[in-house]
Structure formats: C-alpha cells, structure tokens
Amino acid sequence: MKRLATILVTGAILLAFASSSMGAIGWCGNIWPNNGVQYTSNDNIDVYVQVWKDGCTGCDLGPCADIEAYLYYRCEGDPDFIEVPMTFNVCVFNNDEFIGQIPAGHGCDVVEYYVKVVDTTDNDECYGNDQAGNPPNFFLPIVEVTGQDVTVRFNLCLTSAIETAGGVCVTGAGDPLTNWGDGVPMNFNCEAASPKLYFVDVLFPAGTNPYVEYKYKKDDCATWEGTGNHSFSIDDSGATQELPLDGWEWLDPDCPECPSPVEDATWGTIKGLYR
C-alpha cells in the first residue's frame, strides 16, 4: 500500500523505535512519500505524516486540538522553502494523520521537502522519518512521462506455503492498477500444471509515470501482502514488457513452470511439409 495507514501498530510501540524528537509530542513519522520516490511534472504530490501524543491523539479521542503540522518544499538548490499547512486526514489507531500537497507545476527537476509537527501547548517540534526510516530532508526526482502505450505483464507465484480462499489480484499506484484500490484480477497461467502461478496484462497509457509501485492481494483480493511494495520502471522502448516472477511477500518463487506448448498435427500434414 502506498501508506502505512493500515499497519496495526500503536503509538506506544512506535515510540520504542522512533528517532524523532521527544517531548509533549511522543512521536511523529511514517512520512510518505519516501525519499527517492519518482513523480512526474503532472503529479500533485500528496504528503502524509502521523503523530502520537499520549492522551490526545487516536481514534478513541478524535483529532488532537494541540497538534499542527506543516509541509515545507522547494526545488533542490532554491534558497527558500514554501510552507503548506497540513490538515487532519484520518486517525490510525493511536495516531493522528495529517495530509498536505505539493501541487503540479512546481517546475522542479528534484523536489526537496520535510515535515514539521508542532504541539501548540508548548511549541514542541517534531521532525519525523519517512516510512523507510530515512531522516529528513527528502528528495523526489521528477521524471518524464512515458511516450507510448505499454502493456505490462505481472507474474506471481503464490508459493507452496501460501493458501488463498479465492482469486488474487495486483494493485498499486496509478489508474491502471486502481490507485491502491480493488485491484486487477489475475489469471491462472497453466492451472493444471502450476495451480499457484498467476499473470495479468495491464495497459499503461502514454503519459504515465514510468515508476510504478505495487502489491498483490489474495483471498478474493481481500488480504494484502504485509511486506514492502514491489516496484519497476516502465520501459517504453517497446509496446510490451514482462516483469520477472514475483513471490508472495518476497518469498522465493517455487511454482512449477508451465509446460511448453505442443502443436498437434496429423501425419499427412507433416508429410506435406517435406514434399
């Protein structure tokens, strides 16, 4: 998933490995996007941060009135940052999550940004890490969009240790992958010979961000992979691209390969080829 909003953690657990400043704000972090994630000049970049304050944040309490969050961004090398007040987005168990946006049209080759969280009761400040554990500041390369339509084949081995109560699908960033939504259902590659081997062809139209992150879901697309995102770059030098075989949750694929197709032919047809 593009954010860790569904990870079942509590602020107290997060506090144990937080590297952010401590004070009235107990913890802040889980910032998205991670350092190095690519965007195009056409993208509005949504930025997220989570914060925990004991007795104030969390779904049992409602948005904490003590907390404010600010996004600061600039083109790499520019002297000044632009400040964007962030707004409350959603509660995530014991944390409050805020969202802000870096709008398209910034003109940057690389966007540099960081997030500041403030406790208004004592002006305590917190500068969190991204979801990969990188400390600020964060840098987002801005890339050119694809020049032609590309059909990408995703391949998944569910692996022998993994069971599914229904179909599997792939979901991820961008409309072709349902924007981390319901997902694109996958098909059996050769069900009789390899019943856990799946594939699907997805069309990425011209003008797409070439950097794509994705995950698989099973149990009729209800259960997400719990590990980090898969990713690839669209190769628009041709009209098709096939990705290497993925294993569920990065496990080593152990699905049997599909047998090579055998062409049926009568003896008369074969003799006719050599006349």
Q: What is the pLDDT of residues 217-267, one digit of tens each?
A: 999 999 999 998 999 999 999 999 999 999 999 999 999 999 987 655 455
Give residue 50's identity as a one-letter amino acid code. Answer: Q
Range 47-74 average pLDDT: 96
Range 39-64 average pLDDT: 94
Retrieve residue 104's tokens. Answer: 């398209």
Question: What does the radius of gyration of the chain's CA atoms come to, in whole angstroms?
Answer: 23
The pLDDT value recorded for residue 82 is 98
Residue owning tokens 């149990």: 219
Does the pLDDT at position 74 exceed 80?
A: yes
Q: Is 244 helix (H, G, I), strand (E, B) or coil?
A: coil
- Residue 111 in contact with residue 84, Cβ under 8 Å? no
Overall pTM > 0.85: no
pLDDT digits (tens, 9 = 90+) for 106-151: 999 999 999 999 999 999 999 999 999 999 999 999 999 999 999 9
Domains plus CATH for the chain? 11-143 (2.60.40.10), 150-250 (2.60.40.10)
Give residue 266's identity as a one-letter amino acid code. Answer: T
Name the percent of the chain lying above pLDDT 70: 87
The pLDDT value recorded for residue 260 is 84
Range 30-50 average pLDDT: 95
Torsion of CA 189, 192, 194, 197, to 10 degrees: 30
Confidence of residue 14 (pLDDT cuts 50, 70, 90): very low
Retrieve residue 31's tokens. Answer: 């910032």
Which of 70-74, 75-79, 205-209 has the lowest average pLDDT? Answer: 205-209
